[in-house]
């Protein structure tokens, strides 16, 4: 049912499933705060509906989309242009619709970078980073960190093919960052790291094991878990007890949404209203 049948512009999130997304809350709060007559909806589409949906965006009056699992890579062939960063990452999470011209962007990378630098004061230049996971989010984050001048990025993943693909692509593109594939958590050398990131879904369920034992963590380490529901994963709890600084992924969600909003509307995103909607 339409919440705002008079909305002049329609935006939304495309995924499958997508109904648990927090993006509608955040973007509709932004439209309300700026008195923009627009509505942000959920578009849950089955794989067989993807192509016809993307090709009909202009005709059905959709001005912009966020794209989530499992379509961040699959939408690319239907776009007219993708940003340089989205090309390097190999995934699009934002589409801007201008008539029948579709342009793809990746705001996850810049969203993560803005959160750690602007809110957490962590500047990646010269830093040593341990990354758990080599999937979609890890790709965006590792590109952002390498572009920002990280000294060493160690990565592990239980899927060896994904690990090899990501580390080979980083090595090829960023020769100033030392990229180290690791067989397991112990191989990440967390003891040397300034930043430890969980970019796996492990921790979303209360029954999930803690990915890293407390004795591998040290004071001064920033532990960043991309998960934001629950707000504090077991990893973050253990990290806090070990004296580390911690952050969940809510800030990344906020900033990637702000950047998408600005790409679509051309106006500054209302950070406070969007954050309040997420809290």
Cβ closest to ligand NAP, residue 24 vs residue 249: 249
Catalytic-role residue among 3, 19, 59, 72? 72
Decide: is 256 part of the binding site for ligand NAP (CB under 6 A).
Answer: yes
Cβ closest to ligand NAP, residue 9 vs residue 45: 45
Element (H, E) at 10: strand 9-15
Decide: is 228 part of the binding site for ligand NAP (CB under 6 A).
Answer: yes
Name the segment binding ligand NAP (CB under 6 A); options: 13-21, 48-56, 95-103, 251-259: 251-259
Site track 61-90 with ligand NAP (rule: CB under 6 A), x = hit: --------x---------------------
Question: What whole-number distance in Å separates Cα of residue 142 and Cα of residue 138?
Answer: 6
CB of 60 to ligand NAP, least distance (A): 26
Out of 88, 102, 150, 199, the residue judged to bind ligand NAP by CB under 6 A: 199
Decide: is 154 part of the binding site for ligand NAP (CB under 6 A).
Answer: no
Cβ closest to ligand NAP, residue 190 vs residue 211: 211
Out of 201, 214, 218, 245, the residue judged to bind ligand NAP by CB under 6 A: 201
Sheet arrangement for strand 152-156: 178-182, 152-156, 128-132, 195-198, 222-225, 245-247
Residue pair 217/242 in contact (Cβ under 8 Å)? The answer is yes
Decide: is 113 part of the binding site for ligand NAP (CB under 6 A).
Answer: no
Measuring CA to CA, which residue among 229, 164, 139, 154 is closest to residue 193? Answer: 154
Question: What whole-number distance in Å separates Cα of residue 73 and Cα of residue 42?
Answer: 19
Cβ closest to ligand NAP, residue 60 vs residue 209: 209
Decide: is 275 part of the binding site for ligand NAP (CB under 6 A).
Answer: no
Tokens 């980073």 -> residue: 129
CB of 200 to ligand NAP, least distance (A): 4
Q: Is 72 a catalytic residue?
A: yes
Decide: is 158 part of the binding site for ligand NAP (CB under 6 A).
Answer: yes
Decide: is 134 part of the binding site for ligand NAP (CB under 6 A).
Answer: yes
Residue pair 225/196 in contact (Cβ under 8 Å)? The answer is no
Residue pair 43/53 in contact (Cβ under 8 Å)? The answer is yes
3-state helix, strand, coil in the chain (%, to 5): 40, 20, 40
Measuring CA to CA, which residue among 109, 112, 77, 113 is closest to residue 93? Answer: 109
CB of 49 to ligand NAP, least distance (A): 21
Tokens of 232: 């504090």
Q: Coil, strand, or helix at residue 192?
A: helix
Cβ closest to ligand NAP, residue 28 vs residue 256: 256
Measuring CA to CA, which residue among 254, 248, 253 is closest to residue 269? Answer: 254
Provide the annotated active-site residues: 72
Q: Tell me which residues touch ligand NAP (CB under 6 A).
A: 69, 108, 132-138, 156-159, 162, 199-202, 204, 211, 226-228, 249, 252-253, 256
């Amino acid at each position: 049912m339409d919440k705002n049948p008079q909305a002049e512009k329609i935006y939304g999130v495309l995924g499958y499933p997508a109904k648990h997304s927090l993006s509608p809350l955040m973007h509709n709060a932004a439209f309300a705060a700026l008195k923009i007559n627009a509505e942000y909806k959920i578009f849950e589409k089955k794989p067989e509906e993807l192509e016809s949906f993307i090709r009909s965006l202009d005709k059905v009056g959709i001005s912009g989309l966020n794209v989530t699992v499992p379509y961040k890579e699959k939408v690319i062939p239907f776009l007219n242009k993708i940003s340089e960063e989205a090309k390097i990452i190999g995934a699009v999470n934002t589409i801007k619709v201008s008539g029948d011209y579709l342009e793809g962007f990746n705001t996850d990378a810049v969203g993560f970078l803005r959160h750690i630098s602007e809110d957490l004061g962590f500047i990646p230049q010269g830093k040593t980073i341990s990354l758990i996971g080599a999937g979609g989010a890890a790709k965006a984050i590792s590109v952002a960190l390498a572009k920002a001048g990280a000294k060493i990025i160690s990565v592990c993943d239980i899927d060896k093919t994904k690990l090899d693909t990501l580390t080979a692509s980083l090595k090829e593109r960023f020769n100033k960052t030392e990229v180290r594939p690791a067989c397991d958590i112990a191989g990440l050398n967390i003891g040397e790291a300034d930043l430890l990131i969980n970019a796996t879904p492990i921790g979303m369920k209360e029954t999930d094991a803690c990915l890293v034992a407390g004795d591998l963590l040290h004071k001064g380490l920033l532990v960043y878990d991309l998960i934001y529901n629950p707000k504090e994963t077991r990893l973050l709890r253990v990290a806090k007890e070990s004296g580390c600084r911690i952050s969940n992924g809510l800030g990344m969600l906020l900033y990637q949404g702000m950047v998408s909003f600005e790409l679509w509307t051309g106006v500054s995103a209302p950070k406070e209203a969007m954050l309040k909607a997420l809290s």
